[in-house]
Amino acid sequence: MNLKRIFRHFLVVLLLLLIPLMAMQITDQVNWSLIDFLVMMTLLMSVFLGVDMIWQKVPNKSKRFGLIAIFLLIFFMIWVELAVGILD
C-alpha cells in the first residue's frame, strides 16, 4: 500500500475525529476521553485501510462490494457495541 494513500486516510480520520472534539466544546452531552479518541481512530483507520485493501485486491465487483458490505457491517456492530452496549 502506498504511503501517500495511508497519509490521506489518516487525514480523513483526523477530520472525522474533529466532529466529536468540536461537539465537546459546544455541549456537555459529548464526553470523550483520550482513550475514546484513540479507540475510534484505530477503528476508523482499520476500516479505511481494510476497505482500500479489498478495493485493490478483489477483482470481481460483486465479491468486492459484498466483502466491503460485510466489513462495514462488522465495523458498525463494533461501533454500536462500544457506544451504547447494545449486545449486553
Structurally, the chain folds into a number of domains equal to 1
- CA distances for 4 relative to 1, 8, 11, 86, angstroms: 9, 6, 11, 37
Across 59-78, average pLDDT = 94
What pLDDT score was predicted for residue 88?
A: 65
Q: Which domain holds residue 55?
A: 3-84
What pLDDT score was predicted for residue 47?
A: 94
pLDDT tops 70 at residue 69: yes
Q: What does pTM read for this prediction?
A: 0.84
